[in-house]
Every structure is written in C-alpha cells, then in structure tokens.
Amino acid sequence: MKIYPWEKVAEIQGDHRFFQCSRCCTDEVWDAIEPVSRMVEAMGDGLEVPTELVPRCPHCGAEAFPWVRGYGNFLQGELYEEQYRKVSNWLDAHARQRILFLELGVGRMTPAFIQEPFWALTAQLPQASYVAVNNKTQFLPRAIEDRGLAVRADIADVLADVRKTLGR
C-alpha cells in the first residue's frame, strides 16, 4: 500500500490500518491509525495503554483488534470480498499470459492464503512460473519443479543481485 495504488493491491490477509470488532458484530472496519498513534503517545516510555484508549467496537462495545488474519476471528466481510475479487478478476484477465508468482517472505503460518494458491496456480497455468525468497524456509513442490525456484536468502540481497544482473 505504500508503493502501489489501492486497486492493484489485494489485502486478503487484512491490513493493520483498520480495526474490526472482535465479535464480528458488524461488517464495518474503521481507521486504526489515529487511535494507535494516540495509544503510543499515551504509553510514552512505558508499556501500558490507558483503559479508555483500548479500542472498542462502536456498535457493541467489544474490544476491537486489527483487521488482520491471526488476531482472532478475522472478519471476512465485504472488504475481504473486495480484496479477493481483485485477485480473481486479475487472474481471469491474465490467465493466458506469462505470469510470475513472486513470493517474498511469505512464511508457513497461513500457507492456505498465498503460498498454496501460488503453487496450485503455477501448476494449473501453463505459462506461469513461481519464485519464492525466504530467509528461513525453502519449499518447492515437485509438481512445479520445472517452472519454480525457491531461494533461501535475505530478500534485500536477492533483489540487489537481480538488479545488478539486469544492469539497473
């Protein structure tokens, strides 16, 4: 989101810029940037957030948490569907073209959302290739061995090497 326009980014794992209700009582997500900066400011050098600044759902009063998979019951509502549609529409439009699925630093915590779909799509789309760079893991399924590469290294080093090789 810092580099690419919103319509070209599919945040299917969520986004720390938003809060959601921990009870999923509403499909709404709301701004987290401002409340988090108020919490950080109130913490000062300490580690405690004043109770009145703990984020709460404006509808039911339950605690709020970041709209990011992994904190609890991740809200897969309209915003999630919108993110998913971006990926699906892009794939529909480009499935016959050459595609490089480039996986940078995706770990094994939730492989069902990025890694395994990338593997499956590479296997299904005849013109697709797959490259993964990760400093901890190095998985490459046998089914895509001929069109894939898994590099175990620091992403910054790998991208610097690519840039140097391309002469840019």
Site for Zn ion, rule CB under 5 A: 21, 23, 25, 57, 59-60, 62
Q: Which residue has the tokens 């569907």?
A: 81
In the complex with Zn ion, the residue whose CB is nearer, 29 or 131, is: 29
The alpha carbon of residue 65 and the mean position of all alpha carbons in its chain are separated, in whole angstroms, by: 16
Smallest gap from Cβ 22 to Zn ion, in A, equals 7
In the complex with Zn ion, the residue whose CB is nearer, 59 or 152, is: 59
Smallest gap from Cβ 72 to Zn ion, in A, equals 12
Q: Contact, 47 vs 97, CB < 8 A?
A: no
Smallest gap from Cβ 38 to Zn ion, in A, equals 20
In the complex with Zn ion, the residue whose CB is nearer, 63 or 81, is: 63
Per-residue DSSP letter, 46: S
Alpha-carbon distance of 77 to 74, in angstroms, equals: 9
Smallest gap from Cβ 6 to Zn ion, in A, equals 25
In the complex with Zn ion, the residue whose CB is nearer, 29 or 57, is: 57
Alpha-carbon distance of 133 to 14, in angstroms, equals: 22
The alpha carbon of residue 20 and the mean position of all alpha carbons in its chain are separated, in whole angstroms, by: 16
Q: Which stretches does DSSP call E strand in the chain?
A: 14-21, 30-31, 64-68, 99-104, 128-134, 148-152
In the complex with Zn ion, the residue whose CB is nearer, 59 or 163, is: 59
Smallest gap from Cβ 15 to Zn ion, in A, equals 19
